[in-house]
Homo-oligomer: A and B are copies of this chain.
Amino acid sequence: MTTHDPSAPDVHEAAFNPAAPASPLERARSLLHLTRQAMAAPDLQGGLLPVMEALLSGTAAVGTAYFEASGDQALVYQVRAAAGEMPSTAGMAAIAAHGLPANVPLLRVLQEAPEALFYGDVHASPDTQGFVELGVASLAAAPVQDTQGELFGALLMHTFRPHAWTHDERQLFGMVADTVASLTCRLRAEEHMRAAQESSLRALGLALEARDGESLGHTDRVTALALKMAGRLAFTPQETCALRWGAYLHDIGKIAVPDAVLLKRGPLDADEWEVMKGHVVAGSSFATTLAFLPDASLAVIAQHHERWDGSGYPWGMSGDEISLGARIFALCDVYDALVSERPYKEAWRPEDALAEVQAQAGRQFDPALVPVFVTVVNEQEG
């Protein structure tokens, strides 16, 4: 997306060539290809940019942008994707930064519009009030509605000189607007599903906290720490997701530990300690029934009590044998236990807990990860 000085000569319209050299079927095939790619895209920007570029090359428009209502109140429509030239006015800069207020006349008109609206000269209609000042001369605007017919987005395209939109341009804009609507509906449905999946897994982890009031908030706190570590270590989205799911579920095996052991006030005897340690194997076996869990999540659940020097449980793994996720998570889990109050101990001060973590570098913890963890905690506490 580039910006345009309205006083400069407009070369785009001169360069516009509506007669594409390809055969009709080839042109259709290329449009279809773009649409299919857009519809299958994993995100909005990636899906929309190619069809928006095609829109610009097939019409006199010099720029196009897709705006979407943000937040539950939907008081503002933010730019979600844009291609071509935008006016280089202060008003346009403000819209790029803060969005288009939902009460501008154009958005109010679109709320009632069944399909795209075309304005050859924005001076001539009260609908497009405010667009002259932005530096736009002609405009096309299409409503993007959800399945209930509620407006949640708007596709706009514009020129810097007055322009009578042709039949073919209107057709093409309509097609692109329909593609935007279908894609956004699909992505919203997927997002809804992803959020549901995420909250189910978190709930599974939280179920444990319902039994054990002392650990209230532990799952969310260690997950937050683990995610900060993932950020520092430049994890991919997939790696981050696997670590997050492992964090949610790390203690799920404690479901099988009886109250008499789990909630005991005071030190555990040898037998009780064996029962408590059993939560790792129980949790691993339970988590294996969730066939979709990545191996990296299972490793966090199975190995989060292993120690760098091999003195952990249940497998006695050491060093790099322990998965990276489990080494990261062990730091987060132990630190949170130290700074939390427990039946048998006071809450430690963060600086004391960090000193203990540092003292355990190379013994309990991966020495390469300890400094990263210290930075993450200092940023959080500071």
Contacts and interface: CB of A to CB of B under 8 A. Distances in A.
A134 to B, nearest CB: 30
Contacts of A25: 24, 168, 171-172
Contacts of A33: 175, 178
A28 B35 contact: no
Contact of A197 (B174, B196, B286): B196
Contacts of A197: 193, 196-197, 200
Given A24-B28, A29-B171, A32-B32, A204 B200 contact: yes
A14 interface: no
Interface stretch (A59-67, A250-258, A320-328): A250-258
B36 A178 contact: yes
A334 interface: no
Given A196-B197, A199-B292, A259-B260, A40 B178 contact: no
Nearest to A26: B171
A289 B178 contact: no
A49 interface: no
Q: Which of A39, A168, A190 counts the most chain B CB atoms within 10 A?
A: A39
Contacts of A258: 259
Contacts of A186: 39-40, 186
A211 interface: yes
A175 B199 CA distance: 39
Judged by DSSP, the binding face of A is helix
Interface in A171-201: 171-172, 174-175, 178-179, 182, 185-186, 190, 192-197, 199-201
Give the number of times this chain occurs in the complex, counting copies.
2
Interface string A240-270: 0000000000001001101110000000000
Contacts of A175: 28-29, 32-33
A32 to B, nearest CB: 5
Interface string A194-214: 111101110110111011000
Across the A-B interface, give the 9 residue pairs with the lowest CB-CB distance, nearest first: A24-B24, A39-B39, A28-B28, A196-B292, A200-B200, A259-B259, A210-B256, A40-B182, A197-B197
Given A28-B175, A35-B39, A197-B197, 14 more contacts: A28-B31, A31-B32, A32-B35, A33-B178, A35-B36, A36-B182, A40-B186, A192-B292, A204-B207, A206-B289, A207-B255, A210-B256, A210-B282, A211-B255
Interface of A: 24-29, 31-33, 35-36, 39-40, 168, 171-172, 174-175, 178-179, 182, 185-186, 190, 192-197, 199-201, 203-204, 206-208, 210-211, 252, 255-256, 258-260, 282, 286, 289-292
26 contacts: A24-B24, A24-B25, A24-B27, A25-B172, A26-B171, A28-B28, A28-B31, A29-B171, A32-B35, A32-B178, A35-B36, A36-B182, A39-B182, A190-B190, A192-B292, A193-B194, A196-B290, A199-B289, A200-B200, A200-B201, A203-B204, A203-B286, A206-B289, A211-B255, A258-B259, A259-B259
